[in-house]
């Protein structure tokens, strides 16, 4: 069990390192998914601060979605984070998949955020 956790942390570190080198001043769109929910944050690594965030735990989404752990929820979160980023004047981000493969919920969230107006 410890080996799996160590491998996941190493994978996450590799992804995060590549992203920080390629960011060139852009903020980071970080994704975390659990078995029941999906979370996303826009983080400014130079300041070490979260600029905006969204998750499937928010009350309006919990009421409208059947579950927070499917592709429909990921699409809704992607659109929501894009709207919140626009309100703050953020258009260019770098996508941090957090060690998860770019497939399923992570891919759906990214595509919905692109449709919402984020560039990455």
The domain made up of 2-115 has a fold known as Nucleotidyltransferase; domain 5 (3.30.420)
Q: What is the pLDDT of residue 1?
A: 61
What pTM value is reported for the model?
0.88
Three-state secondary structure call for residue 18: helix
55 beta partners: 39
Q: What is the pLDDT of residues 54-96, one digit of tens each?
A: 999 999 999 999 999 999 999 999 999 999 999 999 999 999 9
Query: Which residues are paired to 49 by β-bridges?
Result: 44
Please name the residue that has the structure tokens 């390629």: 22
d(CA 58, CA 68): 10
pLDDT digits (tens, 9 = 90+) for 7-42: 989 998 998 889 888 888 899 999 999 999 999 999
Domain residue limits, the chain: 2-115
How is residue 101 written in tokens? 């493969």
Pairing of strands 27-33, 38-44: antiparallel
Note the pLDDT of residue 96: 93
């Amino acid at each position: 069990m410890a080996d799996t956790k160590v491998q996941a942390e190493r994978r996450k570190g590799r992804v995060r390192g590549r992203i920080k080198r390629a960011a060139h001043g852009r903020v980071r769109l970080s994704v975390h998914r659990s078995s029941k929910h999906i979370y996303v944050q826009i983080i400014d690594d130079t300041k070490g601060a979260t600029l905006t965030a969204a998750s499937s735990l928010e009350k309006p989404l919990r009421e409208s979605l059947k579950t927070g752990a499917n592709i429909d929820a990921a699409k809704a979160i992607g659109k929501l984070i894009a709207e919140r980023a626009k309100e703050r004047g953020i258009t260019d981000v770098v996508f941090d998949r957090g060690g998860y493969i770019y497939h399923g919920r992570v891919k759906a969230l990214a595509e919905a955020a692109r449709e919402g107006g984020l560039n990455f």
